[in-house]
Structure 1
Amino acid sequence: MNSDPSRDTSGGEWWRDAVVYNIYPRSWRDTNGDGHGDLSGVVERLDHLAWLGVDAIWLNPIMPSPNRDWGYDIADYTAVHPDLGTLADLDLLVEAAGQRRIRLVLDLVPSHTSDEHPWFRAARSDRGSPFREYYVWRTPGTDGAPPNNWLGYFGQPAWTLDERTGEYYLHTFLPQQPKLNWWSSRVAEEFERILRFWFDRGISGMRIDALQTLVHDRTLRPNPAAGDRDTPLERRLGQRFLRSGAQPETHGFIRGWRRIADSYTPPRLLFGETWVPSVDDLAPYYGDGSDELGLAWNLPFLGCDFTARSLRAVVERTVAALPPSAWPAWAMSTHDGEGRAATRWCHGDPAAARCALLLLLTLRGTPILYYGDEIGMTDAVDTPGSGRRDTAETAAPRDRSRTPMQWAPGPGAGFTSSPRPWLPVPGADAPTVVEQRAAPGSVLSFCRDLITIRRRHHELVSGAMRFVPAPEGVLAWERGDGDFLAVVNLGPAPAVVTRDTADGEVLIGTDRHRDHQTLTDQVSLAPYEGLLIRLTRRPAADSDRSRESGRAS
């Protein structure tokens, strides 16, 4: 077993300083020509991530699975899917990443298993099986009806009748994903063992899937109707998932996991997928800021409009709602239904994509890049006969944001030599790493240079942050003690931000021709243009002019 490479880097809550890079392993790099990405492909492309400036990699599920939900239906929690490699390959990845000072975070799915997991196979073999308590079973009503009105996240009833044993079992997602019963102490003990297995192997943290579904209401009370403040999915299905999840006992389990994570040196990260409608619902998953999650998924930020008003409101509400010692996480793209920011926010416009990256990488908190964000990779177009793999009934096909990484022009896009990749590769006009590395004005060059600047200036990582006044459509915020100013024009018209207390130098602009410009009292911005400015305070005698609307000070 390999030693933990993260022990050679700085201790403490390392994720506060990190840029995290999310990889969907099947779509990253295929090294054996079978059309599926693999762990050897992650090793092969580590130098790209080191060059980019990434501090940690988060891999979507790598554990054995029949792939009814593409890895989120786990059949073995302490092994690697054969399509992706072996435990030895994972050990090699941990070691190779550690040599580049890059940590590795895995996806863990504690809410449910695959129906092919040995636990469930044993549970459904006999009502007297000791594994029966690992899952949630109920006898049918007098009319054969399910126990209550609960729906799953894919819109189907949350109960399936097991003909073999004559009882319903609960599932929050597909019927092939039976829900684990966290009211059983044996389930909790299993996952403590699973966490230690991976942490002992050198894994630096876990992203915990569907955390809000972990614990269900023990008495199976019905879910209420959805209201205006609930998630879009809940409103679409007409039901708020109040009793089928989101129970207060969840926090006790998180605190137990945190004690395990903190027993390692350096501490292991717990990053929760907290799929909740508001940051007020998100904040409790941090506990007191140090005893539950280290990072939590911010769905309200991911789902907001790409406008100055919407983004500022979500960021300010997040900062206000979280405990003082908690640390926010920011992501703009995802492997799930929300898809890629370059499509959802930027509509394929590289200038807008650079603005989105400037926002993501200069907010106070941990930025999470999804593979391809650094080149402005867009969602694929879902067309008939395109080889769709995602069979779940979701509002938007998830395949569109899981297509192969675009490494180079040509057949296979540098992803695979197979004529049949697991998902279609992009067309000839898609952006690629090879082309953008050679272009100083590209999205990739901008992303890499911005990460480099972020790393050089601790104020951009751990410094204070506050929004400052700006014209309509413009977002402006200071980092540190007024040391840096970031401005982004997300409106359709040119804008001017006026200042009377500081001059500055442009450290980086989304239009690279503006790099190193000296600015005085006015910052002019074209539509979808952003600047990161290092400020120099003027003497008080030079700051005697009063400004009208649009004044930022």
Structure 2
Amino acid sequence: MNRSESPETDEDGPDEAEGTRGWIATDGGHNSTDPDGAKEFVSGDGSHHPGPPRFVTVGQGIVNPNGNEMETRDELAPWNPDPDGEYSWRVADAPAGSAAEPTDEPIAEFEPDVPGEYALTLEAPDGTHELTVRVFPEEDEDDPRPQVSLDATVADDRIELSATATVVGGADDALEVEFYVDDRDDAAVSPDGTIPLSDVTEPVRVYAVAVGDRHSVPDAIELVPADDGGGETTVRVEHPFEPPSWVEDAVVYEIFTRRFPDQDDPTFETIADRLDHLEALGVDVLWLTPFLEAESGFGTPMDHGGPHGYNTRDYFAPDPDLGTLEDFEALVEACHERDIRVVFDLVINHTADTHPFYEAAVDEDHPEHDRYRDWYRWEDFDARDADTYFGWADIPNLDHGNPAVREYLLEVIDYWAPTVDGFRTDVAWGVPLSFWTEVHDRVTGADAEFFLLDETLPSDVEMGGGRFHMHHDDVLHDVLEAIGQWAGDGGVSEATADADGAAGATSQEEDEDEGEDAVADEFTDSAAGLDTTSADAILEAIAERDRRGAHPDSLWLQYVENHDTDRYLERYGRETQRAAGAATFTLPGVPMYYYGQETGLTGRREPMNWDEFDDDLFEYYRGLSDLRQSHPALRTAAALERIAYETDTDAAVAYARDDSAGNRVVVLLHFGDGSATLRIDESVAATDLVSGEAVPCVALEDDESFDYELTVETAAVLEATAE
């Protein structure tokens, strides 16, 4: 379906999406198409069933509170919601001693009071649906969290489930694994961890949770009936939480959409004119900050954040100053011709306070007031005090506990998903987990290659495992910031943190009073507990992913700066920026450029410096991109290995990367002034794979601990050689 076929809108009123209902599959399943061959979107099987089993702890609950700006939100919600439908929740079965009951709303909250297994029922217009809620005892969040990977094989007439459970610093054999079949599927797991093959006549979803001192994020498989090639029925095992293969080893490039193109004519067309730059840099994914019609369009001054676009006024219309829908589609097509995927910045936690829905909500004389008043969360409606984050008074939070809001936002997703390759979701922590579960099911069910990236800060591993494929790595970013502060040559000893834990203003609007940075207090602890006084803290940041119990398939977006931060180059200097950039390209994860990082841009949201490139810096980053994409030992799945090294400065670090085929490199980074000397117990070729230049190297023939002494200024990647 051509997205130029925009819905009918009323520019003078709140009927923005009238007639934009999502496309519901007529066969009750995924991957269907309309008569024109376009993908149709439906959540689950098209019913109101609320989705997969839920896994929570006593004291955590499934709640969506006002007031706590950094608390992950959640709810019990019917899928494919009908705003006019009647829904009610109740507890059908509970552990002995429990008195917990869901709240009395169509989209409900539930605070279990006793560990065990609960059966909840949802009475919906299409019948009764049952949902399993497994509740674990309260957990010490300082303990490492286990991880689990689920698989299955067919043996004779049975399907044998197999799960690998691990926990950092603990004994794997102390972990137990629990299996759960989706409540929508007609099958059961036997006590021996098997399922009769005869039970799988339709797809069956199975979930595994590792349980120790804490419980893991669940993993899942889908058992799909298939022909074994000889006419006999078998099953195909699918892994629905795996990310699309195209993003695993990608290089991402974020542009501040209204500042990246030629500023004399900043449009989608002139962005397309600059794609050769991205192609030369080895970019695989283009992330565009919001380009829809917004309050902060062209002309927004920098003391209000510049033309950032994060306060949406119309979810179905591009900013006309950038161009039309056809112009945007032409940009996407031009990207695809260069094998560059396009990621849409989805902003559905809040709207602008000038959005027609909000204007109707606050005006009691507006003819649509009663309809839209309940579309927003309120601290005090009588005072017109909307629920907001960090004092951002001009972006009121939507109420995702309203079925009409959910239905509308699913229409927004259905409208844009066919054109783009993925969503980056702004303020993802402010939208309930249950909604993201439905979104993941909906978009990946229609297109298994669709990609989802969350902005959740501090990062929350609950966003993995069936919600998002990739997370912003705020811990690594904060570590790089901390190292830059004490090791860089920018002369900055202290930084004021922003929404990503870095120096600079907030993502929505700079504080006019710099002493009142509400976001700083919330985000400065992303790297809490890590010793950031030496460069090897970057290795601890990577290890922190497993300690926190991230889903094994979760990917991590690695960056030194983005639209919410000051420029690393400006704050910490050129050499330190080069070292930090090399870290994002040589550690396991997905590296990201923020436009101009590679060309020497120093302003956070200033126009791209098309005529003033730092050519040496560009060639350096192009070398990093080329090596990242060409060397197997630097792929995301390659192992990170700590190696023995000795150095004359805390600003230097060494580590190795290797893959299962025996490819291995050693990485040396130095964040400080001048050069650093490192001794390593590795046999390496003394040629930097990024620059192709020789690295000063001395063989230590009389040293019993180390083989070579090398000198590095900022970064070197060396091929490991046979002893």
On whether the aligned pair clears a TM of 0.5, the verdict is yes
Equivalences for residues 122-161 of structure 1 within 5 A: 122-126=360-364, 129-137=370-378, 139=380, 161=383
Give the structure 2 partner of residue 72 of structure 1.
310
CA displacement at 1:102 relative to structure 2: 0.2
Structure 2 Cα separation of the partners of residues 469 and 196 of structure 1? 51
Note if 1:457 corresponds to 2:631: yes
Asked if the contact 1:505/1:518 (under 8 Å) is kept, the reply is no
Give the structure 1 partner of residue 437 of structure 2.
255
Structure 2 Cα separation of the partners of residues 362 and 138 of structure 1? 46
Structure 1 Cα separation of the partners of residues 248 and 543 of structure 2? 19
Deviations, residues 20-77 of structure 1 (Å, cap 9, x unaligned): 000001111236x35xx32122101001101110001001110101216631110111
Give the structure 2 partner of residue 327 of structure 1.
555
Moved more, 82-91 or 98-107: 82-91
Gap change, CA 1:29 and 1:516, over 3 Å in 2: farther
TM-score by length of 2: 0.53
Give the structure 2 partner of residue 356 of structure 1.
580
Structure 2 Cα separation of the partners of residues 508 and 377 of structure 1? 26
Note if 1:284 corresponds to 2:462: yes
Gap change, CA 1:138 and 1:313, over 3 Å in 2: closer
Note if 1:339 corresponds to 2:566: yes
Structure 2 Cα separation of the partners of residues 449 and 102 of structure 1? 19
Gap change, CA 1:211 and 1:48, over 3 Å in 2: same
Asked if the contact 1:13/1:266 (under 8 Å) is kept, the reply is no
Gap change, CA 1:519 and 1:536, over 3 Å in 2: farther
Give the structure 2 partner of residue 373 of structure 1.
597
Structure 1 Cα separation of the partners of residues 354 and 345 of structure 2? 19
Deviations, residues 376-411 of structure 1 (Å, cap 9, x unaligned): 3223xxxxxxxxxxxxxxxxxxxxx000111114xx
CA displacement at 1:355 relative to structure 2: 1.7
Secondary structure (helix, strand or coil) at the match of 2:417 reads helix
Structure 1 Cα separation of the partners of residues 684 and 536 of structure 2? 26
Note if 1:195 corresponds to 2:413: yes
Gap change, CA 1:519 and 1:76, over 3 Å in 2: farther
Secondary structure (helix, strand or coil) at the match of 1:524 reads strand
Comparing both structures, which one devotes a greater share of its residues to helix?
Answer: 1
Gap change, CA 1:508 and 1:137, over 3 Å in 2: same
Give the structure 2 partner of residue 474 of structure 1.
652
Gap change, CA 1:104 and 1:523, over 3 Å in 2: farther
> Which amino acid in the other structure matches residue 186 of structure 1?
A
In structure 1, stretches of 5+ residues that fail to align are 5-10, 145-160, 163-167, 215-249, 380-400, 410-431, 437-441, 539-553
> Which amino acid in the other structure matches residue 444 of structure 1?
F
Note if 1:536 corresponds to 2:721: yes
CA displacement at 1:500 relative to structure 2: 4.1
> Which amino acid in the other structure matches residue 178 of structure 1?
P
Deviations, residues 176-208 of structure 1 (Å, cap 9, x unaligned): 21210011122112121111211112x011111
Q: Name the Cα RMSD after superposition.
A: 2.6
Asked if the contact 1:483/1:535 (under 8 Å) is kept, the reply is yes
Structure 2 Cα separation of the partners of residues 42 and 266 of structure 1? 28
Gap change, CA 1:517 and 1:268, over 3 Å in 2: farther
Secondary structure (helix, strand or coil) at the match of 2:563 reads coil
CA displacement at 1:138 relative to structure 2: 5.6
Secondary structure (helix, strand or coil) at the match of 1:308 reads coil
Asked if the contact 1:64/1:76 (under 8 Å) is kept, the reply is yes
Give the structure 2 partner of residue 148 of structure 1.
none
Structure 1 Cα separation of the partners of residues 579 and 634 of structure 2? 16
> Which amino acid in the other structure matches residue 324 of structure 1?
P
Give the structure 2 partner of residue 422 of structure 1.
none
Which one has the largest radius of gyration? 2
Equivalences for residues 203-222 of structure 1 within 5 A: 203-214=420-431
Give the structure 2 partner of residue 222 of structure 1.
none
Secondary structure (helix, strand or coil) at the match of 1:408 reads coil
Structure 2 Cα separation of the partners of residues 314 and 63 of structure 1? 35
Note if 1:406 corresponds to 2:609: yes
Match of residue 184, structure 1, among 391, 394, 402:
402
Sequence identity percentage:
26
Give the structure 2 partner of residue 27 of structure 1.
259
Equivalences for residues 156-175 of structure 1 within 5 A: 161-162=383-384, 168-172=385-389, 173-175=391-393
Give the structure 2 partner of residue 488 of structure 1.
669
Gap change, CA 1:504 and 1:299, over 3 Å in 2: same
Give the structure 2 partner of residue 502 of structure 1.
683
Asked if the contact 2:651/2:670 (under 8 Å) is kept, the reply is yes
Structure 2 Cα separation of the partners of residues 92 and 124 of structure 1? 38
Structure 1 Cα separation of the partners of residues 408 and 622 of structure 2? 41
Secondary structure (helix, strand or coil) at the match of 2:294 reads coil
CA displacement at 1:101 relative to structure 2: 0.1
